[in-house]
Amino acid sequence: MAILNFGGVEEVVVTREEFPLKRAQKTLAEETIAVIGYGVQGPGQALNLRDNGFNVIVGQRKESKTWDKAVADGWVPGETLFEIEEACERGTIIQYLLSDAGQITLWPTVKKHLTAGKALYFSHGFGITYKDRTGIIPPDDVDVILVAPKGSGTSLRRMFLEGRGLNSSFAIFQDATGNALDRVVALGIGVGSGYLFETDFRREVYSDLTGERGTLMGAIQGIFAAQYEVLRANGHTPSEAFNETVEELTQSLMPLVAENGMDWMYANCSTTAQRGALDWWKKFRDASKPVFEELYSEVAAGNEAQRSIDSNSQDDYREKLEKELEELRESEMWQAGQTVRTLRPENG
């Protein structure tokens, strides 16, 4: 492990130099990793672990779309692909990668297979942090660990295949065996992390829920919609409004920010753009900060978690969700986006 200094704040991080893949393979040589769930994070983590030489099996409901997806990805029924309960029984490390709602529903089945010395692995701190609401309380004689890639399972897999890594946080909630640290770091390296930074279950879920509702998804969609609507209201065409709102940001500027930082991007744009951005960014910060403070308070109070649990447990949740997604999908802005994407040179 290494201690890195981020502007005067020290953090514990682990890179592949300190904990190479060979060490991770040796650490988990006697383990069977059972990946439960093959939806969002499951495919990327399972495939990366398999390609990195670990003993991995997948647990999924038979006769489901995700079971068929697992078969298409090369998991063999009866050899590396099993019904969930059998995979839990076989696994010494159970990677619990179902949705938060799915974890609540399946917990009684998983819990009975958590025998002494096993490890229960999460990629989200939700179930443990809000255990009073979820009922997910692990036995005292198992390790409870977390590796949370900072991106989607699709991105984790794509970056792995490109020879890159997606950064992940790691945490230990319970070290029953004395080997929880080696187990969690080895798994973090195995799933294809770029580097690992230390957190705890509470901080992971607080930051994750805030980020999803904030700059990662909720806030960015809100800002996109606001600018697009103002441009359209002032006579700009859908193509012009979309290109100035979304396309230039995602295709031109954000890759530069990812490579070099926002400060570099500011320093390397036109002086007119530079002056305007410097004059206006603090106004946007001041306008949005109260919303972020309210959001974080709702997350910390457990209200966001409860809303998620309540809505996801409704019988008609999927139908309601599809209507909300349809509204987004059929909005003029994202219809314009669909057209613009087809006109990119690589698609021509």
User: What positions carry a catalytic annotation?
Assistant: 124
Neighbouring-strand partners of residue 81: 58, 77
* Distance, CA of 47 to CA of 97 (rounded, Å): 14
Residue 38, SS3 per DSSP: coil
Reference 123, options 88, 147, 99; nearest CA is 147
The residues facing 95 across adjacent strands are 35, 121
**Burial readout 254-284 (b: 16 or more C-beta within 10 A, e: otherwise):** eeeeeeeeeeebeeeeeeeeeeeeeeeeeee
CA 79 to CA 77: how far, in whole Å?
A: 5
Tell me the sheet residues that pair with 148.
169
Cβ proximity of 255 and 243 under 8 Å: no
Report the chain's terminal Cα–Cα distance, integer Å: 47
10 Å Cβ neighbour count for 161? 12
Place of tokens 């209200």: 303
- Count of C-beta atoms within a 10 Å radius of residue 106: 20
SS3 for 333? helix
Backbone angles phi, psi at 96, to 5 degrees: -90, 90
CB 105 within 8 A of CB 81: no
3-state secondary structure of 39: coil
